């Protein structure tokens, strides 16, 4: 234990505080495989994944990250068996009801991105509470991507923009990249500097498609329930070795 703490401290000492990613996005993948490897049902993996969420949120606060976006449930995850979907929804309710007060004490602002309008009522109640209780906080902004899909987000933005045009609040000539950004769930937030995906898969799976145009990507074989502060630090150290050119020289 002491050894691990020491190791984390040594590693975080290597982080250049002036070059921190402002916004980190995480595709939390591998819960099912984590459980299957142990001969357990997938559910156990999701439960164990909550501990990793807790640890990573805490580590992000400690390291001074300003925005953290966690991909919790995609628009495609409805394809899973009903029992698994229900379990994930219940887990969300449990996580929020247990953690919101602590997160609030730690000045975390909780924000949901995705279409929450179609979620079960019990989820919507906890989501509203989480957002209301923490809305004036000025610390870490924790975006939870729930029933989120990058393509769905863009479709919704297009519809909003079209409505504004029909209402003559906007002309076609006035549409810029900024117009699109302002009509996404992440409006007023910086694009992610760093996107992390666990479990060895190297794809975005519909995560922050518009916003990730110039994100640095970091992949690890580690399965989500095993992910901890040391891995987050490792990802940030990798990020700090990258030269970001944004198309320049």
Q: Is 147 a catalytic residue?
A: no
Q: Does 92 bind ligand IPE (CB under 6 A)?
A: no
Beta carbon nearer to ligand IPE, 174 or 201: 201
Integer Cα distance of 231 and 16 in angstroms: 16
CB of 125 to ligand IPE, least distance (A): 21
In the complex, which residues of this chain contact Mg ion (CB under 5 A)?
A: 29
Q: Is 29 a catalytic residue?
A: yes
CB of 152 to ligand IPE, least distance (A): 13
CB of 116 within 8 A of CB of 123?
Answer: yes
Interacting residue with ligand IPE among 23, 25, 29, 229 (CB under 6 A): 29
Q: Does 153 bind ligand IPE (CB under 6 A)?
A: no
Beta carbon nearer to ligand IPE, 144 or 161: 144
Beta carbon nearer to ligand IPE, 34 or 239: 34
CB of 203 to ligand IPE, least distance (A): 6
Which of 12, 149, 138 has the alpha carbon at shortest distance from 67? 138
CB of 24 to ligand IPE, least distance (A): 15
Binding mask 198-227 for ligand IPE (x = CB under 6 A): -x-x-x-x------------------x---
Beta carbon nearer to Mg ion, 47 or 164: 47
CB of 44 within 8 A of CB of 224?
Answer: no
CB of 245 to ligand IPE, least distance (A): 28
Q: Does 147 bind ligand IPE (CB under 6 A)?
A: no
Q: Which residues are annotated as a binding site for substrate?
A: 30-34, 42, 46, 74-76, 78, 80, 197, 203-205
Total chain residues near ligand IPE (CB under 6 A): 18
Three-state SS string across the chain, please?
A: CHHHHHHHHHHHHCCCHHHCCCEEEEECCCHHHHHHHCCCCHHHHHHHHHHHHHHHHHHHHHHCCCEEEEEEEECCHHHCCHHHHHHHHHHHHHHHHHHHHHHHHCCCEEEEECCHHHCCHHHHHHHHHHHHHHCCCCCCEEEEEEEECHHHHHHHHHHHHHHHHHCCCCCHHHCCHHHHHHCCCCCCCCCCCEEEECCCCCCCCCCCCCCCCCCEEEECCCCHHHCCHHHHHHHHHHHHHCCCCCCCC
Residues that bind ligand IPE (CB under 6 A): 27-33, 71-74, 77, 88, 199, 201, 203, 205, 224
Annotated catalytic residues are 29, 77
């Amino acid at each position: 234990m002491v050894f691990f703490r020491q190791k984390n401290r040594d590693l975080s000492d290597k982080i250049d505080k002036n070059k921190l990613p402002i916004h980190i996005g995480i595709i939390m993948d591998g819960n099912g495989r984590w459980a299957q490897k142990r001969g357990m049902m997938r559910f156990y993996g999701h439960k164990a994944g909550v501990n990793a969420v807790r640890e990573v949120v805490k580590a992000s606060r400690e390291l001074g990250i300003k925005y953290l976006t966690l991909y919790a449930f995609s628009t495609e995850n409805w394809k899973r068996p009903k029992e698994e979907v229900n379990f994930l929804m219940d887990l969300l309710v449990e996580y929020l009801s247990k953690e919101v007060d602590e997160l609030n004490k730690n000045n975390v602002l909780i924000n949901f991105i995705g279409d929450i309008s179609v979620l079960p009522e019990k989820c919507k109640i906890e989501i509203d509470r989480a957002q209301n209780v923490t809305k004036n906080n000025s610390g870490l902004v924790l975006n939870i991507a729930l029933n989120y899909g990058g393509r769905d987000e863009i479709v919704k933005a297009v519809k909003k923009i079209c409505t504004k045009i029909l209402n003559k609040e906007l002309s076609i000539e006035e549409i810029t990249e900024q117009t699109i950004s302002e009509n996404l769930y992440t409006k007023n937030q910086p694009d992610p500097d760093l996107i992390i995906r666990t479990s060895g898969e190297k794809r975005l799976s519909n995560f922050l498609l518009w916003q990730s145009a110039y994100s640095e990507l970091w992949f690890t074989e580690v399965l989500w329930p095993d992910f901890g502060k040391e891995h987050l630090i490792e990802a940030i150290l990798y990020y700090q070795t990258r030269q970001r050119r944004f198309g320049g020289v």
